[in-house]
A and B are shown apart, each in its own frame.
Chain A
Amino acid sequence: MFSNLRIAGAIQAMLENIEAPPAPIHAIRERASQAPQPARTRRFFLPAAAAVAALVVIAPLVAPGFTQNIEAEIESILRWTPPPPPPKSVEAAIRATTGDLADAQRRVDFTIVPPAGLPSGAVREKIATTPTAVYSKITHSWSVGNPAVYFVYRRARGDTFSLLADRVDPRQGPPSKYVFLDQGRRNGHEVLERHENFAWRNGDQVMNAVAGEGLSAAEIRAIRAAMHGVPFPGVWPPQTGTIEKQYRLP
C-alpha cells in the first residue's frame, strides 16, 4: 500500500507543479452561455473490411468484455462475421520496427517509393516496419505476412498523419473505397464514421491513405499526383488461387 501512497503523492506533486494560467472567467462564462458543441470524439480508424478483424487482433491486448461488446456491435453494423483471434505465435510476431528508409527497404520485398508532395510544414516523425497478420478465408487460419511500412508525419499545426506502403498483392482484392472512424459510444451504441480511403500503385508498391485523419482528400490527391501513383481499377481481374484477407494492427 505504501508504494501506492508514494505514487499518489508523486502524482499530486507533479500536478501541483504544473503552472495554471489565470482563470479566464469571462471566456468560460461566455462559452457557458453558448449552446454546447457536438461531441468531437474519434478513437482510431480502421479499414472498413478489417474493422472487426483488427479489433479481434487487438482483443487479447485489452479487456475481453470491452472488446467483445465492441465486436458484437460493429459486427451488427457491418453485417460481417469476424475471423477468430490470431494465435499467440502470430500475435507475437506483429511488432513494429522503426528506422530510416534504408532500414525499411531492407525489411520489405518491394521497392519503396516514399511519399512526395506532402502538405507544407509536414515533417517525417518516423518510419515503422510492421509484419502483417494474414487470415485466409480458404484455410481459415492465420499466418505472419509480409511487412508493411508506415510513414508517420507531423504537421506544423501539431497533429499527425500516416501513409501505409505495402506490396501489391492481387489476392487481397480491390482496396476498400471507405474506412470507418470509430466515434466512440453514443446512447450506448458504437458509432462508426465513414471516411474516404485512397490507394494507388507505384511499381510493386501500394500506398494507402485515409482522408480526415490529419489529411484532407485534396491533400491525398496531391500526394498521389506528386508520386505519379496509378489508382487501382474499380473492377478487379478474376482471381486464381487462394483468396486471403489481410489485417493489420493499427
Chain B
Amino acid sequence: MNVERGLVERARSEDAALEALVAAMWPQAFRLAASILRDRGLAEDVAQDACAAIVRSLPALKNPGAFPAWFYKIVVRHALSEGRRRRPAEPLEALQRRCVNDPSDFLALEEAMASLTPLARAVVLLHYYAGFSSVEIGESTQLPASTVRFHLMLARRALRKALSATRAPDLLAEARDNV
C-alpha cells in the first residue's frame, strides 16, 4: 500500500488530509474485503466499517510508518468477522473486469481462491499481497503462527491443485519445484 507517512501524520489533524487518506485507502480496503467475502455489497459495507474504524483510531496510532500493516489488519479483521456471519451472495467474477494480461493465470487463481474458506483467503492475501509473515498474519487473524502456517500450506496446496487443472503449466512446475 502506497501511502505517504506525512499524509498519515497530517490526517490526524487536517480534514483535507484525512479525506485524501480515506480516498487513498478505500480501493485497497474494498478489494481486500471483496476478495475475502466474494460479495460486492457486503464488501462495500465492511470496507466502510473498516475505514471508519481506521479514521476513528488514527489518533491512537503511535507509529505512522506502521500504517499499511495496521490498515491491512483492520480490514482483514472486519472482513473475517463478517465472513463468519454471512455467506457469499455474488460470485467473484461479477466483481472483476476482464483480465487483459494473462487470462489463464487469472482464471486459475480465481478458481483456486474460490475453493478456499474466507479465513484461508485472508491468510493468502495477507501473505502474498500484503507481504505479512506468519506471525504478523497471526496477530491480524488472532491465530497462532503455527496455525497460520498450516492454513497457508493448505491454501498453497489448493492453489496448486486448481492451477494444475488450467492453462498454467509453467506456474505449476514452478510450484512443484518450490515444495
Contact of A40 among B85, B105, B178 (CB under 8 A): B85
Proximity bits, A93-109, B CB within 8 Å = 1, else 0: 00000000000000000
* B177 neighbours in A (Cβ, 8 Å): 2-3
Interchain CB contact under 8 A, A13 and B106: yes
Contact of B171 among A7, A12, A25, A160 (CB under 8 A): A7
Interchain CB contact under 8 A, A62 and B147: yes
Least CB distance, B93 to chain A, in whole angstroms: 11
Interchain CB contact under 8 A, B95 and A18: yes
Proximity bits, A75-119, B CB within 8 Å = 1, else 0: 000000000000000000000000000000000000000000000
A28 contacts partner chain B, Cβ-Cβ < 8 Å:
yes
Interchain CB contact under 8 A, A10 and B106: yes
Interchain CB contact under 8 A, B84 and A184: yes
Output the nearest chain B residue to A12 by Cβ-Cβ distance. B129
Interchain CB contact under 8 A, A63 and B147: yes
Interchain CB contact under 8 A, A31 and B81: no
Proximity bits, A35-77, B CB within 8 Å = 1, else 0: 0110111111000000000000000001101100100000000
Contact of B125 among A11, A16, A32 (CB under 8 A): A11
Interchain CB contact under 8 A, A31 and B52: yes
B31 contacts partner chain A, Cβ-Cβ < 8 Å:
yes
A218 contacts partner chain B, Cβ-Cβ < 8 Å:
no
Interchain CB contact under 8 A, A66 and B147: yes
Least CB distance, B167 to chain A, in whole angstroms: 13
Interchain CB contact under 8 A, B101 and A13: yes
A4 contacts partner chain B, Cβ-Cβ < 8 Å:
yes
Interchain CB contact under 8 A, B96 and A14: yes
A8 contacts partner chain B, Cβ-Cβ < 8 Å:
yes
Most chain B C-beta atoms within 10 Å of own C-beta, residue among A28, A44, A160:
A28
Least CB distance, A125 to chain B, in whole angstroms: 10
A219 contacts partner chain B, Cβ-Cβ < 8 Å:
no
Least CB distance, B40 to chain A, in whole angstroms: 9
Least CB distance, B109 to chain A, in whole angstroms: 5
Least CB distance, B165 to chain A, in whole angstroms: 15
Contact of A7 among B35, B49, B128 (CB under 8 A): B128
Complex: how many Å from CA A10 to CA B34? 16
A138 contacts partner chain B, Cβ-Cβ < 8 Å:
no
Least CB distance, B152 to chain A, in whole angstroms: 11
Given A11-B129, A43-B84, A158-B87; A6-B144 close (CB under 8 Å): no
A-B contact pairs, 17 of them (CB 8 A): A3-B177, A6-B105, A8-B129, A14-B109, A20-B26, A23-B27, A24-B26, A24-B48, A28-B48, A29-B22, A31-B51, A32-B52, A32-B53, A32-B56, A42-B85, A62-B147, A63-B146
B interface list, Cβ under 8 A from A = 18-19, 22-23, 26-27, 30-32, 34-35, 39, 44, 48-49, 51-53, 55-56, 81-82, 84-89, 95-97, 99, 101-102, 105-106, 108-110, 113, 124-125, 128-129, 142-144, 146-147, 149-150, 159, 171, 174-175, 177-178
A interface list, Cβ under 8 A from B = 1-4, 6-8, 10-21, 23-25, 27-29, 31-32, 34, 36-37, 39-44, 62-63, 65-66, 69, 154, 157-160, 184-185
Which are the 9 A-B pairs with shortest beta-carbon distances? Answer: A158-B89, A3-B174, A31-B52, A23-B26, A20-B27, A63-B147, A32-B55, A32-B52, A20-B30
Beyond the given A3-B175, A20-B27, could you list 18 further A-B residue pairs with CB under 8 A, ordered by the A residue number? Answer: A1-B178, A3-B178, A8-B129, A12-B128, A13-B101, A18-B34, A24-B44, A25-B22, A28-B26, A28-B52, A32-B52, A62-B150, A65-B144, A65-B147, A66-B146, A157-B89, A158-B39, A184-B84
